[in-house]
Amino acid sequence: MIPEIGQFALVLAFVITLVQGTLPVIGAARNDAAWMAVARPAALMQLFFVAAAFLALTWSFVVSDFSVLTVAENSSIARPLLYKITGVWGNHEGSMMLWVLILAVYGGAVAIFGGHLPAALRARVLSVQAWIATGFLLFILVASNPFVRIFPAPLNGNGLNPLLQDPGLATHPPALYMGYVGFSMAFSFAIAALIEGRVDPAWARWVRPWVLVAWCFLTLGIALGSHWSYYVLGWGGWWFWDPVENASFMPWLAGTALLHSAIVVERREALKSWTILLAILTFSLSLIGTFLVRSGVLTSVHAFAVDPKQGTFILVLLVIAIGGSLGLYALRAPSLKLGGLFAPISREGSLVLNNLLLVTACGTILLGTLYPLLLASVTGQMVSVGPPYFDAVFVPIMVPLIALMAVGPMLAWKRGDLAGALARLKAAFAAAALIALVTWHYLTNGSWLSVLGMALAAWLIVGSLVELVERLRLFRGSLRQSWARARHLPRSVYGMVVAHAGLGVVVLGIAAALTWHSAVLRDMRPGQSAKVGPYEFTLRGVQEVPGPNYTARQGVFIVTKDGRYVTTMKPEVRHYSIPPMSVSRVALRPSLVADLYAAIGSPDGSGGYAVRLYRKPLISWIWLGALIMVLGGGLSLSDRRLRIGAPARKSAAYPAPSAIAKGA
């Protein structure tokens, strides 16, 4: 009964998106307030029915209703409740449901919080949002229906891939999707602006919070995903340039560029058509990522099992959505008015350079990810592209970008003073040089890249703080004056400083992890010890431990440093029966100074076990830095001008779109 209710709710949501996608946008064109007003209740109804369908599916997983095919294929009775729930999106059908649910949540959020938007813009935005929902709901109903029943129902399900039975998985896809799908808002605003034929500072200010929300979630999602692969995949790496990782990283790079170019539109009315293009591209990359993960065209550890029909369906959706929006862009963007002029060395100039570098980085990753596919389709020749390519192309682009990040905010709008900005960054220069020397001195197995990375990190962190000090006029006036400035400084400035410094922390973590890790890989018998850096690992014993739906072989390590007890670590190998698979669970003791990492392998037949022990200094700074970046985004989001800032447009009257197109 419950799955059928879900099915009906999905169909109803689909019908609602048809209404929401037509009436409001027609109403906006005809300036008909009643038709435009359909958008808000429709978006809320859509949210209600999609949520009902999602709950129905979740319910089927929770009660283990194996007459539902998706549940039978992806769940089992003995699974802990948490993983029954997270199992909802651990498969193709359920993850598509999560996708449309989040899309509907964003639509509903515009309906609720978009009160300050002009009615016509809101109507158009919600209509465009509904077009996307129409496509994906149709895809779910036709090609990947999660509510398909089977008869007779099996007694138990096939179970979830045990790699995915982990708290990290519970959080990382929803965060990632909040980011991915969140960029649909920027897309809808861009398309609405193109239909309207008008992009102005007010538009940039309205779209900014949505871009910020999506960016924060995507940053969080990528960080969680990377941390998940760090401790679940079990060999201590944290980024593999896997196609699926790239699929989430490309929208992040494009979205970061969008975040910055929207500032230029807001402040200086320049880069309008570029910003629109970025908004379209960012969401397009999210869609392409969805396609890559689900179509089976690329090999990946994360890939879902899919049939070609689904791949074809998503490709057609992609062509309609991306091709249509880029076509609209080609027709309408030339008529957007050009904005303010600026000198190459200026805040705008530095933001343009930032955009160029980010988009180039994004392009090289896209090329690397798709190159095997492109070459194969054109010439039939097959190649593979691996981490060496990505490392080789990505680092040279990131170096100038990070160097620029400290300088850009120092430059004035329109025309900046580069020499003055560099002079003010003396402290950052000094910090970078100092760190470079210290790194050089302690360099054991790293390369000059480690020195460069550490220097850049210091440059960026100190440079960001210098920016704050400059704004507050610290050390130059009385503390009281600085305090007054601190209170009146917009939150977005704090947000920028924190986010930039956060990236510096990430770079620091990466450079340190590359440089100073120590590893021991050997066989150990109970009672034996191994020295990893200053730590002594003693294998106390190995025991069999039963879990809810697995049995584990657990090693118990006592870790000491200079004879003093530090911690006990219990790495496991879990043997699952449904499906039959062994999964290594490393034991991790994270700390700001150094992560300790222990993994246990197979017995060697004579009482010993293969173990891997690592000490990875500062590696957790990678994820700490990412969290700091999210915090920065959140600070910026809480800026007063985004909360209250419902700026009036320059002219109250809306020109008809056709008039603009003709007039340009």
Site of interaction with other proteins (CB under 8 A):
163, 234-235, 273, 277, 280-281, 284, 288, 291, 295-299, 301, 308, 311-312, 315, 318-319, 322-323, 326-327, 329-330, 333-334, 370, 372-374, 376-378, 381-386, 388, 521-523, 581-584, 601-605, 610, 612
Instruction: Please identify, using beta-carbon distances, which residue of 28 and 359 lies nearer to other proteins.
Output: 359
Instruction: Please identify, using beta-carbon distances, which residue of 36 and 281 lies nearer to other proteins.
Output: 281
Tell me how far apart the alpha carbons of residues 281 and 275 are, in angstroms, rounded to a whole number: 10
Shortest Cβ distance from residue 602 to other proteins (Å)? 4
Q: Cβ of 656: how many Cβ atoms within 10 Å?
A: 12
Give yes or no for a contact between 530 and 613, defined as CB atoms under 8 angstroms apart: yes
Nearest partner of 194 among 20, 40, 26, 325, judged by Cα = 325
Shortest Cβ distance from residue 171 to other proteins (Å)? 22
Residue 565 to residues 289, 560, 569: CA-CA distances in angstroms?
47, 4, 12
Let me know the angle formed at the C-alpha of 49 by 46 and 50, rounded to the nearest 5 degrees. Answer: 80
Shortest Cβ distance from residue 383 to other proteins (Å)? 4
Question: Is the peptide bond between 579 and the residue preceding it cis, with omega within 30 degrees of 0?
Answer: yes
Shortest Cβ distance from residue 12 to other proteins (Å)? 32
Tell me how far apart the alpha carbons of residues 268 and 347 are, in angstroms, rounded to a whole number: 10
- The helix/strand/coil state of 604 is coil
Instruction: Please identify, using beta-carbon distances, which residue of 212 and 542 lies nearer to other proteins.
Output: 542
Instruction: Please identify, using beta-carbon distances, which residue of 111 and 285 lies nearer to other proteins.
Output: 285
N-to-C CA span, the chain: 58
Instruction: Please identify, using beta-carbon distances, which residue of 9 and 370 lies nearer to other proteins.
Output: 370
586's CB contacts (< 8 A; 6+ apart) are 231, 232, 234, 571, 597, 598, 599
H/E stretch holding 400: helix 387-407
Shortest Cβ distance from residue 184 to other proteins (Å)? 17
Instruction: Please identify, using beta-carbon distances, which residue of 316 and 545 lies nearer to other proteins.
Output: 316
Give yes or no for a contact between 353 and 339, defined as CB atoms under 8 angstroms apart: no
Shortest Cβ distance from residue 620 to other proteins (Å)? 22
H/E stretch holding 447: none
Give yes or no for a contact between 39 and 21, defined as CB atoms under 8 angstroms apart: no
> Pairing mode, if any, of strands 587-589 and 594-603?
antiparallel
**Tokens 């170019």, residue located:** 261
Instruction: Please identify, using beta-carbon distances, which residue of 478 and 606 lies nearer to other proteins.
Output: 606
Instruction: Please identify, using beta-carbon distances, which residue of 312 and 591 lies nearer to other proteins.
Output: 312
Give yes or no for a contact between 472 and 487, defined as CB atoms under 8 angstroms apart: no
Residue 323 to residues 128, 131, 278, 281, 630: CA-CA distances in angstroms?
15, 14, 14, 11, 32
Instruction: Please identify, using beta-carbon distances, which residue of 373 and 469 lies nearer to other proteins.
Output: 373
Shortest Cβ distance from residue 311 to other proteins (Å)? 5
3-state SS string for 210-262:
HHHHHHHHHHHHHHHHHHHHHHHCCCCCCCCCCHHHHHHHHHHHHHHHHHHHH
Tell me how far apart the alpha carbons of residues 470 and 478 are, in angstroms, rounded to a whole number: 14
Q: What does residue 471 show for φ and ψ, rounded to 5 degrees?
A: -65, -35
Token pair of 633, please? 């985004």
Q: Please report, for the chain, how many H helices and E strands are present, in that order.
A: 23, 10
Instruction: Please identify, using beta-carbon distances, which residue of 201 and 372 lies nearer to other proteins.
Output: 372
Shortest Cβ distance from residue 530 to other proteins (Å)? 12
The interaxial angle of helices 243-268 and 201-232, nearest 10 deg, is: 160
Shortest Cβ distance from residue 332 to other proteins (Å)? 9
**Tokens 């359920």, residue located:** 94
Shortest Cβ distance from residue 49 to other proteins (Å)? 31
Provide the Cα torsion 645, 122, 43, 304; round to 10°: -90
Instruction: Please identify, using beta-carbon distances, which residue of 235 and 483 lies nearer to other proteins.
Output: 235
Instruction: Please identify, using beta-carbon distances, which residue of 3 and 372 lies nearer to other proteins.
Output: 372
Shortest Cβ distance from residue 87 to other proteins (Å)? 20
Instruction: Please identify, using beta-carbon distances, which residue of 543 and 582 lies nearer to other proteins.
Output: 582
Shortest Cβ distance from residue 297 to other proteins (Å)? 4
Tell me how far apart the alpha carbons of residues 136 and 143 are, in angstroms, rounded to a whole number: 10
Token pair of 341, please? 């002029």
Tell me how far apart the alpha carbons of residues 321 and 612 are, in angstroms, rounded to a whole number: 48
3-state SS string for 154-195:
CCCCCCCCHHHCCHHHHHHHHHHHHHHHHHHHHHHHHHHHHH
Instruction: Please identify, using beta-carbon distances, which residue of 226 and 492 lies nearer to other proteins.
Output: 226
Give yes or no for a contact between 548 and 531, defined as CB atoms under 8 angstroms apart: no
Shortest Cβ distance from residue 576 to other proteins (Å)? 12
Shortest Cβ distance from residue 240 to other proteins (Å)? 8
Shortest Cβ distance from residue 424 to other proteins (Å)? 38
Instruction: Please identify, using beta-carbon distances, which residue of 178 and 352 lies nearer to other proteins.
Output: 352
